[in-house]
Structures are given as C-alpha cells and as structure tokens.
Amino acid sequence: MDSSPPPAQPETSQQVIALVDDDRNILTTVSIALQAEGFATRLYTDGETALKALLENPPDLAIFDIKMPRMDGLELLQRLRDKSALPVIFLTSKDGEPDEALGLELGADDYIAKPFSQNLLTARIKAILRRAEFSRPQTGEAMDEKLPEPVRRGRLEMDPARHRVTWDGKPVSLTVTEFLILEALATRPGVVKSRNQLMDAAYSDDIFVDDRTIDSHIKRLRRKFREVDSEFSGIETLYGAGYSFGEA
C-alpha cells in the first residue's frame, strides 16, 4: 500500500500552504482538509528539504512540526528567519510549552497544540493570511485604492502598504504579527496598550492566545531592533499594565 502523502494540487491563483512533518499520516490528513478549503498544498517530510524549497519558491504560509529528525522545526524556523518573514504556524505536543515559547521568540506567528481540530487550524491559517494580505504588492485596480500612510515616530518608520520597517534608516525585518503589534504601539506613542489590546490588534476571529504569546513577540521585537541599534529602548514595559512605544 502506498503511504505517500497526496499530490499537491495545481496552484493557479490559490493560496499555498507548505506542510513540514515527518508523520505522513498528519501530512495526508491536513493536506486533504486544506485542499477541501480551497488551498493548494506542498508537503515536506524533513526540514532540510523544506528549507531549500521555502526559500527558493515561498508559499503563502508554512506549518512546521517541531519534533522532526535531521532538522527539527525550531532549527528550521531559525534558519528560515535569517532570510524570510514567511508566516509560520508551529504544531507542538501537549506538553510542549518550552518549545512554544522558544518558537515564538524565534519568530513563529502562532502555534497549535496536538491533537488539534482541523477547523481550528483552518481558522488560524485564514486569520494569519488576512493579516499578511496588506503586505502584498499592490497591482491593477488595487493601486487606485488609498494606501495607508506610513507611520513615522522619531527614528522609526513603518510603511504598512509595503510591510517595511526602518529604525534610523536601517531596515528591520518583521513577521506579520510583529508588524501589527508594533504598529498598534507606534500609532499612539506613550499610550500603554494592555496585552489584550495587542492581542486584538494582531489576532482576529476571536482566536485566543495567552499573555506569554504577546510577551514572546515583544521580546523578539526588541531583539530585532537591538541588532541594528544596541541602545534601542523604544518599547517600554509597564509591569501589570502592558507596553508602550517611546519615540527616543
């Protein structure tokens, strides 16, 4: 009996989801469910093969299992983030809290614990893709629509239409989730945003994420800005209340 995953569908104008998991049963089940929702899928059973393909021909979103041989999902994400802000969802085991936290710090957009429902996974995928939509280049009729104005706060400049961020003229590469969290803070400098408010800005469709998720994204944001400015202190913490952006 052939245990190979189902073939990928012709992609045409479909949104493409890459699945990376060494469990062929999960690949098959998830791929069939996503194809039924109208997505095209690309399937990979190891991280090394997936990394090369994701960089050479990026999909719209990728889903990584964490525990894989040769190259696990955490290493795959770390190496991917060196060159790409591709939206990524992690699949973790029930007892995988340390992995979840590390994955978010490395730049994952979301995580889902196994066992998971297909409906939940599909909802998370659609939410992240909608958040990523604004970063696509505008063509044709879309060019006639009014583009969002860039956000300029001191040394920070954010261009939502092009998903570009610079600090003191130096580019900072952010994931979709990181961009939306920073935008929520920078549009009202000095105003403290609670974790719940930042969740609302970065997540849609009543998707629940806990405080650790927002904290991990903030930690990742600070680390990225300190890579271009070791003295960066633009994101401030008010313990017990939330975060704010300062223009310094």
Whether pTM exceeds 0.75: no
What is the pLDDT of the chain when averaged over all its residues? 83
Report all structural domains of the chain as residue ranges with CATH numbers, in order of start: 16-133 (3.40.50.2300), 148-245 (1.10.10.10)
With bands split at pLDDT 50, 70 and 90, how would you rate the model's confidence at 1?
Answer: very low
| Cα–Cα dist 31/34, whole Å | 5
Distance from the first to the final alpha carbon of the chain: 63
Identify the residue with better confidence: 148 or 22.
22
Predicted confidence (pLDDT) per residue in 35-55, tens digit: 999 999 999 999 999 999 999
With bands split at pLDDT 50, 70 and 90, how would you rate the model's confidence at 244?
Answer: very high
Q: Do 241 and 194 contact (CB within 8 A), yes or no? A: yes
With bands split at pLDDT 50, 70 and 90, how would you rate the model's confidence at 130?
Answer: confident
| pLDDT of 173 | 85
Instruction: Classify burial at 54, counting beta carbons within 10 Å of its beta carbon; exposed 0-12, middle 13-18, buried 19 or more.
Output: buried
Predicted confidence (pLDDT) per residue in 55-87, tens digit: 999 999 999 998 887 888 999 999 998 888 899
From residue 107, alpha-carbon distances to 74, 110, 168, 199 in Å are 10, 9, 22, 16
Q: Which of 198, 192, 186 is nearest to 153 (CA)?
A: 186
| Cα–Cα dist 42/25, whole Å | 15
Structure tokens at 120: 């939940």
Largest CA distance in the chain: 63
Structure tokens at 176: 């979709």
The residues, ordered by sequence, that sit 6+ positions from 57 with a Cβ below 8 Å of its Cβ are none
Identify the residue with better confidence: 52 or 109.
52
